[in-house]
């Protein structure tokens, strides 16, 4: 019973490098989300998707891109990494509006 799986768990990037954070869910959930969380703070929405082929910007989308080619996968792409993108990234999914969000274990990213 995997739920929401994120990879990698940890990553160190140099300034200007690119990477993709992977997120996959096996619950057939329609809605998927990417958040970033800075120490002791809440979650800020980066991008979200209400179904395959549909994505939309959240509160802090600059410097990121997403795609949703299948229901299961929602990768987050960082182009030209910057120190300000050092954070913990969480992927989440819900089956429908007003239902419980299930989260992955997070990816701790450091940009140096």
Partner 1 sequence: TQLLEQSPQFLSIQEGENLTVYCNSSSVFSSLQWYRQEPGEGPVLLVTVVTGGEVKKLKRLTFQFGDARKDSSLHITAAQPGDTGLYLCAGQYYNQGGKLIFGQGTELSVKP
Which CB, 56 or 79, lies closer to partner 1? 56
CB of 15 to partner 1, least distance (A): 26
- 34: exposed, middle or buried (C-beta count within 10 Å: 0-12, 13-18, 19+)? buried
Which CB, 40 or 62, lies closer to partner 1? 40
Q: Please give the Cα distance from 7 to 52 (Å, whole number).
A: 20
Residues in contact with partner 1 by the rule CB under 8 A: 4, 31, 33, 35, 40-45, 48, 50, 56, 58-59, 90, 92, 94, 97-101, 103-106
- DSSP 8-state class, residue 47: E
Which CB, 4 or 18, lies closer to partner 1? 4
CB of 71 to partner 1, least distance (A): 14
Which CB, 85 or 107, lies closer to partner 1? 107
47 Rama sector, left if φ>0, alpha if ψ -120 to 50, beta otherwise: beta
User: Which among 74, 35, 22 has a CA at the least distance from the CA of 53?
Assistant: 74
């Amino acid at each position: 019973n995997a739920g929401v799986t994120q990879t990698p768990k940890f990553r160190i990037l140099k300034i200007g490098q690119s990477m993709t954070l992977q997120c996959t869910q096996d619950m057939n959930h329609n809605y998927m989300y990417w958040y970033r969380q800075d120490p002791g703070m809440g979650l800020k929405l980066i991008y979200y998707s209400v179904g395959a082929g549909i994505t939309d910007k959240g509160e802090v989308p600059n410097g990121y891109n997403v795609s949703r080619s299948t229901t299961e996968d929602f990768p987050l792409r960082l182009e030209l990494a910057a120190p300000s993108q050092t954070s913990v990234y969480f992927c989440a999914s819900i089956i429908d509006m007003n239902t419980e969000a299930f989260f992955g274990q997070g990816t701790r990213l450091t940009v140096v």
